Amino acid sequence: MGSGRFAPSPSGELHLGNLRTAILAWLFARSTSRGFLMRVEDLDRARAGAEELQLADLAAIGLTWDGEIVRQSERSGLYAEALGDLRARGLLYECFCTRRDIAEASSAPHAAPGTYPGTCRDLTEAERAAKRGLRPAAWRLRTEAETFTVTDVLHGQYTGVVDDFVVLRNDGVPAYNLAVVIDDVAQGIDQVVRGDDLLSSAPRQAYLARLFGAEPPVYAHVPLALNAAGKRLAKRDGSVTLGQLAHVGIDAAAARAMILASLGLPGDSLSAALAAFDPALLPTQPWVFTTDPGAHASGKPIGWPS
């Protein structure tokens, strides 16, 4: 048996939606006798001090993880090795397109929206040499499939687009899709639990895992937390981070109890929740978390037990 994982990006404080996903990842891993690993995805958008705050909040709600914390910023050698391997196999090519080029090309009637139409796939060496002088290239994967099917505990068999996606950005940073896959393979991750906004990227990632000889993980893409307006929950909604909640007298145990209640689980402890956990009974709709617009007066989120 392999491991599950939680992989936050240290771009700011975790909010209740992030903490809920972390608890779900822990429940899925522990209920299937897997390890649970913590990986900091800090290749991009990392803010000073955010990692420490996030790990402290995860510990405060009672989560434990196995082994050392892995940081993507410390693994550039691993990504370079993987890229070298793909390049040696003839599976990478340079792309000189701007965002606008891609938007225009992929809005053509025959193109799937948001996918790369393969503009640079068959450039001649002379064309590439000319373009290199104009802008730095991103590197894309030369794929041989149009779709790939993954297995998701909540969504069943999910088939999605696999286009020639970017694996090395034109600023030299490994792309998210590459780093995630290389890390999951290297860490023996065979269960990926994360927000369902990432469902559509799972087929690309599973396809790439296969290229490295790995069996794609089992996925569970869980519903996100939304605010009253139906938008993804954010810190600016107020009373959504443990820090904000502490200011209004709500501690981490009470926040955890509310998260567990939203999952239909008993809220006294994570071990009680684990004993009652059944993926088949999880809510399939987003968790709408309503905070009080007059929060400065009352402080507490609407619906909070007083």
Please report, as ranges, the residues that interact with Zn ion according to CB under 5 A: 95, 97, 119-120
Q: Which residues are the active-site residues?
A: 235
Q: Dig out the tokens for 275 from the structure.
A: 């004993």
Which has the closest alpha carbon to 67: 39, 32, 37?
37
Residue 79 annotated as binding? no
For residues 225 and 230, give the distance between their C-alpha atoms in angstroms, rounded to a whole number: 9
Residue 300 annotated as binding site: no
269 carries a ligand binding annotation: no
CA 134, CA 128: separation in Å to the nearest integer? 10
The nearer residue to Zn ion, 119 or 201, going by C-beta atoms, is 119
Q: What is the distance between the alpha carbons of residues 58 and 100, in angstroms, rounded to a whole number? A: 39
3-state helix, strand, coil in the chain (%, to 5): 40, 15, 45
131 is in an annotated binding site: no
DSSP category for residue 195: E
Q: Give the type of residue at 157.
A: Q
Nearer to Zn ion, 120 or 185 (CB): 120
Residues 6+ apart with CB under 8 A from 122: none
Q: Is 306 marked within a binding site? A: no
| 127 is an annotated ligand-binding site residue | no
Torsion sign (Cα): 257, 260, 266, 269 = negative
CB of 123 to Zn ion, least distance (A): 8
CB of 80 to Zn ion, least distance (A): 22
Is 235 annotated as ligand-binding?
yes
H helices, E strands: number in the chain: 11, 12
Transcribe 81-108 into DSSP letters.
Answer: HHHHHHHHTT-EEEE---HHHHHHHHTS
Q: Does residue 232 contact residue 196 with C-beta atoms inside 8 Å? A: no
Instruction: Determine the Cα–Cα distance for residues 294 and 289; give it in Å rounded to an integer.
Output: 15
For residue 184, count other CB atoms closer than 10 A to its CB: 27
Contact 93, 124 (CB under 8 A): no
User: Which positions make up the binding site for ATP?
Assistant: 235
Q: Summarize the annotated binding site for L-glutamate as residue ranges.
A: 5-9, 41, 176, 194
Which positions make up the binding site for Zn(2+)?
A: 95, 97, 116, 120
